[in-house]
Structures are given as C-alpha cells and as structure tokens.
Amino acid sequence: MTSLDLTGKVAFVTGGTRGIGFAIAEALVASGARVAISGRDAGRAAEASRRLGGGAVGVACDVADEAQVDTAIAAIEAGLGGIDILVNNAGVTRDNILLRLDGAAWDEVLDTNLKGAFHTSRAVIKGMMKRRNGRIINISSIVGLIGNKGQANYAASKAGLIGFTKAIAREYASRGITANCVAPGYIETDMTNALPEDARKALLDSIALGRLGQPADIAGAVLYLASDLAAYVTGQVLVVDGGMTM
C-alpha cells in the first residue's frame, strides 16, 4: 500500500529556517520523517528546529561552502541515520538588470542556488546508492522556466537546477533514486514581502486561482514527491503557481 507516510525516513531540508523550507520541514515531520534543517546561522537553525518539535534537528551550514556541507551532512547522518530525502531549498536573490548586474551578485546567487544543490546531492548520493533508495527534490522556480526582468542570475540558477535534476535523474534511476523539481510561482515569504501594492494587484490578475501561494502549497508538492506515491516520477518539474503559467 503506497501512502504519504514517511515513518522511518530521514530528510534534510536546506534553508529550512523560515519560509518555504520551514513549511516543507513541518510537512515532513507531520508525515513521520526525522528531519534536519539548515541555515547559515546556528542560532536561527536551532530555534527553527525547536519550533518543529522533537523529531527535528538544526544545523548551521552555508550550502555554497563545500566543506561546511560535507561536515553538516556527516553530522546529520551520524545523528539521525542515512539521508533518504534531500530537499534543496536554500536560495537567495540579488536582483538587478543585466547592465548593472555585477560578478559578485551573479556568483552569490549561482553558488547558493545551483552549486549548493551540487554540493549536497554529491554528499548524499553514495549513501542513497548503497540503500538503493533516495529522493532528491530541488526547489526551482517558474522564473527558471519563463525568465523575469531583473533576475538574469536567479533565472540562470533556477533553469540550471532543472538541467542538473534531469541529469542526475537519469544517472541514478537504476539505483532506486528519483530526482525532481518543484517550480513555485509567487509564494508569500520574506523573499517576496517587499512587493508594492500596485505590483501585487497586477500579479494577482495574472494568477488563475486569484491568490498568492503560501509555503504550505509548496510543501504539499514536495511531500508527494518524497512519498511512495511518486515512486514512478523522476526528472520532472512540478509547477505550483496557481495557474500563473500554463
């Protein structure tokens, strides 16, 4: 019998201290998984893990830093057991039009959003191969599919994540590992809260379901992809945008 029950599974959600990552962690905990979350600051990670309750641990780890990722993943695996579900959610924006986009803003976004997923995926893949089971879920964006003015670096990182996901989906399918993306539309979090009222109204007009997304909307899609229900789904991009792009 297939279900959303994740009892006995260990999950690692990068950037789980708030926003979408925190909602994903909450959903995984509610489904019975033992969950580790990360953020760049140890205090924030510990505080968020406390809010998730007894089954969760918080680790400090900048995903752009390969050595920090390796240390964090070794600590999680020693404490909770081998990671069955990896959710690459940590992400940043440094928006500017191409003319004014400097190399530092390009590198920061690519290093966090794309290279971070490379670091974590490479660190967990051996264990997943050994256990012949694993789920890698990468949080992309509709911006990676359709682009967005002022976000060339962010769009490149999110489109890159889709190619990365499809490549590893092919490489590790025979080992029982699936890799998929979720591409959120416009979700209400710290990342998006600075939107002026007129822009918000224009945005709402473009969303078929007539509302902005909530972090829990993304968590539902991740939970599905993490569960047995999605055992035959790999290399896909699940768009969760209220019908904004279709």
Which 203-232 residues touch ligand NDP, going by CB under 6 A?
Answer: none
Does residue 154 carry a catalytic annotation? yes
- Applying CB under 6 A, which of residues 9, 10, 12, 17 lies at the interface with ligand NDP? 17
Q: Which tokens is 234 given?
A: 């790999």
| Piece of the chain touching ligand NDP by CB under 6 A; list 27-35, 39-47, 163-171, 172-180 | 39-47
- Applying CB under 6 A, which of residues 190, 197, 198, 205 lies at the interface with ligand NDP? 190
239 is a contact residue toward ligand NDP (CB under 6 A): no
**Do 63 and 73 meet the contact criterion of CB atoms below 8 Å apart?**
no
Sheet holding 85-88, edge to edge: 56-60, 34-39, 10-14, 85-88, 134-139, 177-184, 237-240
Helices (H) and strands (E) in the chain, counts: 9, 7
Taking the complex as a whole, the smallest distance from the CB of residue 81 to ligand NDP amounts, in Å, to 22
- Applying CB under 6 A, which of residues 58, 134, 160, 184 lies at the interface with ligand NDP? 184
165 is a contact residue toward ligand NDP (CB under 6 A): no
Listed residue (85, 80, 59, 121) closest to 5, CA to CA: 85
Within 10 angstroms of residue 141's Cβ, the number of other Cβ atoms is 28
64 is a contact residue toward ligand NDP (CB under 6 A): yes
Listed residue (90, 78, 155) closest to 120, CA to CA: 90
Q: List, by residue number, the catalytic residues.
A: 154
Enumerate binding residues for ligand NDP (CB under 6 A). 14-21, 38-41, 44, 62-64, 89-92, 112, 139, 141, 184, 186-187, 189-192
